Chain A
Amino acid sequence: MNLDWEFIMESLPLYGDAMWLTVKLALIAIVLSLVLGLVFSLVLFYKVKGLRSIILAYIELSRNTPLLVQLFFLYYGLPKVGIHMSEFQCAVAGMTFLGGSYMTEAFRSGIEAVGRTQLESGLSIGLSRVQLARYVILPQALAISIPSLGANAIFLLKETSIVGAIALMDLMNVAKDLIGMHYKTAESLLLLVLAYLILVLPLSLLLTWVERKVRHAEFGN
């Protein structure tokens, strides 16, 4: 296969911009999802009445519908009821809607992995519910959750590939445009795959390393 290297060099800045967009979007969505997940998992832990069932319903809705449909609803549907957002805001909202439930589940399973007897032990020295969360549950739960939080972060990063569907100039749309305009299919697709490889592979390797590390350093009691 003969690749047009000149074309590749010329296209690099376009891919660079798109990668930056992807990184920016993923970072914001990941941070917001983490915040949402932490808050929601604590609400579930404290069994806050009313809020609890709302969050459980949200988790089911978010986990059992595709991001693309979520985005279309936000981008095309919501303006009809007076809620207008830019493409980028829509993408952030959609990805946070998706990621929040995944992060909630990750935190929740970490919290559940801290045994009931640990809670009783904390209670027996007079800790309040808030102190119990801060000193006993969260430090242990976070350590347990790290691998699944990391996996969710990578999942969200990959899901950014869908935001091109609401007209953001992401990697997918850059590749598609280049194919449409210049018919440089092989080059465009190669750069597309490489771009995702550069974004995801290091994180994936890091996660594998962390998983191994965590498995070895599990708290023995």
Chain B
Amino acid sequence: MPNSGIEVLFEGSNFERLLGGLLVTIEISFVSIVIGTVLGVLMGLLRTVNSRPLRLVLRLYLEAFRIIPILVWLYVVHFSFSPMLHIDISGGATAILVFSLWGAAEIGDIVRGALESMPKHQVESGHALGLSRGQLYRYILIPQAVRRMLPGSINLATRIVKTTSLVVLIGVIEVVKIGQQIIELGVIKAPNASFWVYGFIFILYFIVCYPLSRLSRRFERKWQN
């Protein structure tokens, strides 16, 4: 292991810059998750509507994201949409667009699953207790739906955070890109920089994702029954 080189992380403003890059990654993820959740809940509700064509279209929409890699969708939007439609769309906007649409598809599937698995007798026994419609949702249906959806949704959030690493490939200046800049600048002074920089970014992602996946697993265990 090179005993020289780790200083590169703390030279000048490198450390702050890397964290700043991480913040860009987190921002893109966060905005995408928020938009994706809103659209996804809507989509999940639509997928339980009793209309075959609608359900088919929404299913195909989901499968498009499950079959074609996300990086391909990033490329498609990045390379085609802007020149074709004469809209100048930044890498960050491209990423948020793709991740939001992907998130919506997956959240929609989670919401649909939760809604469809809601047992009918829960509603009936709620009625039998004399609960009003509002109370039924407030005390019985929504808490159960949340329990069913939360682990999968947090898991999806982890996946989205990990996938944001790809946005460097469509020119977004985020943590990996800043890492590359630091490595290039220090090519003579710190020839081993790439080991430390990429190792550090590896750990940064772990620090962000690990708590999320722990949380998801905790909820999963807690609400298994």
Contacts and interface: CB of A to CB of B under 8 A. Distances in A.
Contact of B210 (A60, A161, A193): A60
B68 A68 contact: no
Interface in B160-187: 162-166, 168-169, 176, 183
A193 B65 CA distance: 11
A221 to B, nearest CB: 21
A70 interface: yes
Contact of A78 (B67, B176, B195): B195
B194 A69 contact: no
A201 interface: yes
Nearest to A199: B67
Interface in B117-165: 158, 162-165
Given A70-B202, A200-B67, A185 B84 contact: yes
B166 A162 contact: yes
Find the residue from A77, A161, A176 having the highest chain B CB count within 10 A: A77
A80 B83 contact: no
Contact of A197 (B2, B67, B76, B197): B67
A28 B198 CA distance: 25
Given A65-B162, A69-B165, A196 B202 contact: no
Given A64-B205, A204-B63, A73 B199 contact: yes
B198 A65 contact: no
Contacts of A204: 63, 66-67
B176 A69 contact: yes
Find the residue from A61, A161, A186 having the highest chain B CB count within 10 A: A161
A76 B197 CA distance: 10
Interface band, chain B: 35 or more
Contacts of A69: 165, 176, 198, 201-202, 205
A192 interface: yes
B28 to A, nearest CB: 13
A134 interface: no
Contacts of B192: 80-81
Contacts of B191: 80
Given A80-B5, A162-B71, A185 B79 contact: yes
A185 B79 CA distance: 7
A65 B209 CA distance: 7
Contacts of B68: 193, 196-197, 200
Contacts of B198: 69, 72-73, 76-77
A137 interface: no
B75 A66 contact: no
A179 interface: yes
A158 B70 CA distance: 9
A132 interface: no
B79 A64 contact: no
Contacts of B166: 66, 68, 162
B69 interface: yes
Contact of B80 (A73, A161, A165, A186): A186
Contacts of B2: 80-81
A65 B176 CA distance: 13
Given A81-B192, A176-B79, A185-B83, 19 more contacts: A64-B158, A64-B206, A64-B209, A64-B213, A65-B206, A68-B166, A70-B202, A72-B201, A73-B195, A73-B199, A76-B194, A165-B169, A185-B80, A196-B67, A196-B72, A200-B68, A201-B67, A204-B63, A204-B67
10 contacts: A67-B165, A69-B202, A69-B205, A76-B195, A78-B195, A80-B5, A81-B1, A185-B84, A192-B75, A204-B67
The 10 tightest CB contacts between A and B, nearest first, are A66-B165, A64-B209, A161-B69, A80-B195, A76-B194, A77-B195, A73-B198, A66-B162, A80-B192, A158-B69
